Every structure is written in structure tokens, then in C-alpha cells.
Homo-oligomer: A and B are copies of this chain.
Amino acid sequence: MVKVEAIIRPQVLEAVQEALDVLNISGMTVLDVRGMGKQKGVTHTYRGSTYTLSLSAKTKIELVVHDEELEEVISAIQKAAQTGEIGDGKIFVTPVLQAIRIRTGERGDTSLH
């Protein structure tokens, strides 16, 4: 089992969800985050003072998948989330030692979907 964490643009979330649906992957956790990177920030004005907030609104999705699903998940996310403009985001893959379904107490691979 691995965890896929993707930082994407908020507006592509729906498309990513659909792409994952096609793979029959439905378990996922979504977070509202702010990202800093190559993308330039947004300027806020306040009575003549301006602040450039370097952080842009991003959405982070986290999904734990079976090792064999990893590649198709990565490519599904990458395609659905890509606009080609700076700021499209990243996908990170991290190891998972254990997964437990709270409702049933099941552990391991079967607890995922």
C-alpha cells in the first residue's frame, strides 16, 4: 500500500474525481491548502497598501492505494489535473505501513475499498 498525495488546482478536482472513478477508485480525502511554488502570488490591496500573498489556493487529495494501482492512479491524476500552466502542482508517493477500516476493524489491503 502506498499513499498518493496530489496538490492540484481547486478547479480540476471534479475532473480528477471522475478520472479516478473510471479506475473504480472511490476512497479519497480532500484538503483545502495553500501552495507556494513557481506560480506567482496574488496581490491584495488594502487602502493603498498592497500585499502580495505568495500562497495560491490549492487542493490536496490523499488516497491510499494498492501498489499495483499506483501507476494508473498517478497517470489518471496527472492527465486530469494538467493545464500546462505553471502551478499545476505535484504528486508525491509515500509508503504506508498499515491501514485499518474503523467501521469493521479490518486491516490491510481489504480495508481500502
Contacts and interface: CB of A to CB of B under 8 A. Distances in A.
A29 B17 contact: no
Given A27-B37, A29-B35, A29-B58, A97 B95 contact: yes
Contacts of A35: 28-30
Interface in A20-72: 26-31, 33-38, 54-55, 58, 60, 64
A98 B93 contact: yes
Given A33-B31, A96-B92, A102-B8, A38 B26 contact: yes
A85 B29 CA distance: 18
Interface of A: 2-3, 6-8, 17, 26-31, 33-38, 54-55, 58, 60, 64, 74, 77-78, 81-103, 105, 111-112
